[in-house]
Amino acid sequence: MIQSFYNSVLEQIDDTAERISLDSGIHKMIRKPERELTVTIPIEKDNGEIEVFTGYRVQHSSARGPCKGGIRYHPDTNIDEVKALATLMSLKCAVSNLPYGGAKGGVTCSPSKLSKKELQRITKRYAAMILPIIGPRADIPAPDINTNAETMGWIMDAVSMYKGSTVLDIVTGKPLELGGSLGRREATGRGVMINTIEILKKLNINPKKTSIAIQGFGNVGSIAAELLEDIGCKICAISDVSTGLYNSNGLDIPNILLYINSESRPPLLKEYNLKKDDEFISNKELLEGDVDVLIPSALENQIHIENADNIKAKIIVEGANGPVSKKADEILAEKEVKIIPDILANSGGVVVSYFEWVQSIQSFFWDINEVNENLKKIMLKSFAEVWYISKKERITLREAAYRLAIKKIACAVQLRGIFP
């Protein structure tokens, strides 16, 4: 039986808490979100009918600062998924040493079946419904799966209308014209690239002789593919919700990006005109393909107890949140597969979100070189800390990252004391 995403996260926390002899009270606090909000979102559809959607916002921990986390629109989104993602955000912010706790939001819907106007109505009503618990010093949303800069602009506008003045720092990941940061859209994929190159260096592997498969060719996967190919890596396989593409000699990533970005709504890979030696493959074939590095950048629980034994890649870089279940992680560890965990690998997005938040507060905006240099500095420092703990304690990179994060959160709790 495939392990649930939330249970997988809690089990990893429990294991870490036991190994570091974490205070039992603080352990209980870290296991539970501080606040869970479920809201009803009625909208009038384009045909005049009223449809009711369900939305969520979960704040896991504010011990280290305001809560921070994205909002996803997906038909399978539910409260347990959002709780798991909020928990991971707390850990992710701690690993990167950002002054944030973790939060996450979501709306259960199928964006592909909704018009742009309908999505705008959902977003603005959702923003109004979660307004009592969000704010620049309380909880700052950002984009996630099926949301983007435009979505964040809608949220900023809705909140600004309620407040009676423009509130730039209520969300991050906004359009540049509305106070967004240069480099934010590329940040998560760039962070994945930085981590991938860094582990190749540690293992003395030449990037130009490295084959890579990337599951998920959305914002994270496509940017990671583009940046890794620029460095000289061979991107042999990619996929989206419709299909996968494979070429043992390396796919033509620039041409695929031109195709993907050619429409207002990105076309599907199944409609791509294959080039010489390209072939369509299944999601299973991509995950289990014979490559050096696998970058799962789609949804959670893609590698689980039923397929972990079939994974051939020796390095996994988690572009998505929770793509490897706890049980699968144990199997892969026995196979000596190196896994850069999500709370380290894909933290580039929240790092540059932090930069955007700071810029919005100060009304002083950085150039792209400053953004990328500061991102690289933080990512390399976080990687070095996790790598050092892993080597010193002879544990996996995931165990090392969890130890680092949980100790930082526990320290903040102890320093603040329990209220009242």
3-state helix, strand, coil in the chain (%, to 5): 50, 15, 35
Would you state the pLDDT for residue 4?
Answer: 87
CA dist 402 and 88 (Å) reads 10
Q: Domain holding 78: CATH number?
A: 3.40.50.10860
Per DSSP (E only), the strands in 101-218 are: 101-108, 139-143, 211-215
349-399 pLDDT, tens digit per residue, is: 999 999 999 999 999 999 999 999 999 999 999 999 999 999 999 999 999
CA dist 201 and 148 (Å) reads 33
Would you state the pLDDT for residue 265?
Answer: 59
Would you state the pLDDT for residue 9?
Answer: 95
User: Do 191 and 165 sit in the same domain of this protein?
Assistant: no
Low-confidence ranges of the chain (pLDDT < 70): 1, 263-266
Tally of structural domains, the chain: 2
Residue ending a domain, choose from 313, 345, 377? 345
pTM of the model: 0.94
Angle at which helix 5-19 crosses helix 24-31, to 10 degrees, equals 160
Residue ending a domain, choose from 321, 345, 369? 345
Would you state the pLDDT for residue 2?
Answer: 73
3-class SS of residue 303: strand
71-116 pLDDT, tens digit per residue, is: 999 999 999 999 999 999 999 999 999 999 999 999 999 999 999 9
User: Do 158 and 196 sit in the same domain of this protein?
Assistant: no
Structure tokens at 217: 């060719």
Its domain, for residue 126, covers: 33-171
User: Do 193 and 145 sit in the same domain of this protein?
Assistant: no
Active-site positions?
Answer: 104
Neighbours of 285 (CB within 10 A): 15
Would you state the pLDDT for residue 267?
Answer: 82
* Ramachandran region, residue 371 (left: φ > 0; alpha: ψ -120 to 50; beta: rest): alpha
H or E element in which residue 51 lies: strand 50-59
User: Do 318 and 210 sit in the same domain of this protein?
Assistant: yes
User: Do 160 and 200 sit in the same domain of this protein?
Assistant: no
CA dist 70 and 355 (Å) reads 15
